Amino acid sequence: MNKVLVNGITGHLGYAIAKELKDRGYHVRGAMRNKSRLDQYPLLKTLNLEIVEADVLDELSMVQALSDQDGFFQVAAVFSLTSKDPQKTVIEPNVRGTETVLRAAAKAKVAKIIYTSSIAAVGFSKIGEPHRDENHWNLEATDPYTRSKALSEKRAWELAKDLGLKMVSVLPGMMLGPGNKAPTATVKFLIDVLKGKIPGALPTSLSYVDVRDVAKAHVDLYENSNASGRYIATHETLSMSQFIGEIIAHRPHARASSRTIPPVITRIFPYLDALKHMVTGSPRTLTRALVQDLICREQRYNSTRLSREIGWTPRPVKESIRETIAWIEQQSGLRI
């Protein structure tokens, strides 16, 4: 089973999975919607992959991309905080995309699928509640992207059963680490902290993990014939104050504050963020729905299933933060 397709190859995790597969000797085919954009990803080009065009909403293109492939890593998903109609532009495409690629995988007779979900599909805990695990589902989320991840994975499992597909899902935490072309939301936040654009910490806790460790988990689960069901792939939970504090520890001269902002003040931030987006065109980083899901909640998970079944040992988050900062500075040519 040495021929595999990675869909979502231009993303942070997609690249990391492709690199892990190449390092292990796999023939990797990468799918992207427009091959003419490949020159925008010089790091990806160094992997010497076979690149094909495919769209998750076009079943024929996905069947063609999956032809003669033993395995399939479905990583691609739509993410947007600025959509005026998130039901049509985020939720529906992610759910329909999942349906399309799984039906295509069935037609192409792919032997095994690794489906990338998210801890968003498991959800947050209220402070003091037990840690969440693979048995939990977050179907009541307010934030459209979060809701789309839960609904998409739920639909994936329904289809996998109906179509007789062998599938495993991986639920990563907030990913850090080198190798990204464009900053993910997590890395963008780290950059904003370094540039002094974050006035303080939201009253929430998030769970972090290195993208390289998540990639390793994907490939280890692919190679493990006994792997089945869902696997949470995240590591350390830090309050946002602690996370900012770790960044400051690596760059003491950063114009940042790790003080926690009271919840009542935090609820004003989405309006300020929207105003900034309107005036400057900068990407949205905080919406009212996202704040509602985050505030006074925490991402605390039991990830022992991965450790127990495949010996997964993720690196410390401090190390990931340090190497992410170094990567950002290397790419920008600046020391922040």
Strand 71-74 and strand 112-116: pairing?
parallel
Query: Could you give the CA distance from residue 183 to residue 209 in angstroms, rounded to a whole number?
Result: 16
Coil, strand or helix at 313: coil
SS (H, E, C) 9-33: CCCHHHHHHHHHHHHCCCEEEEEEC
Q: How far apart are CA 313 and CA 97, in angstroms?
A: 32
CA–CA distance from 211 to each of 68, 266, 290, 305 (Å)? 28, 29, 23, 18
Whether 149 is catalytic is yes
Q: Side-chain half-sphere of 236: how many Cα atoms within 13 Å?
A: 17
> DSSP E strands: which ranges in 45-104?
50-53, 71-74
Q: Write down the catalytic residue from 3, 19, 112, 149.
A: 149
Please report which helix (H) or strand (E) contains residue 323, including its range: helix 317-332
- Cα 251-254-260 angle, rounded to 5 deg: 105
Query: Which backbone phi and psi does 72 adopt, to 5 degrees?
Result: -145, 125
What the block records as the tokens of 164 is 């007789």
218 CA to centre of own chain? 12
Continuous segment of H or E residues that includes residue 163: helix 144-163
Catalytic residue positions, numbered: 149
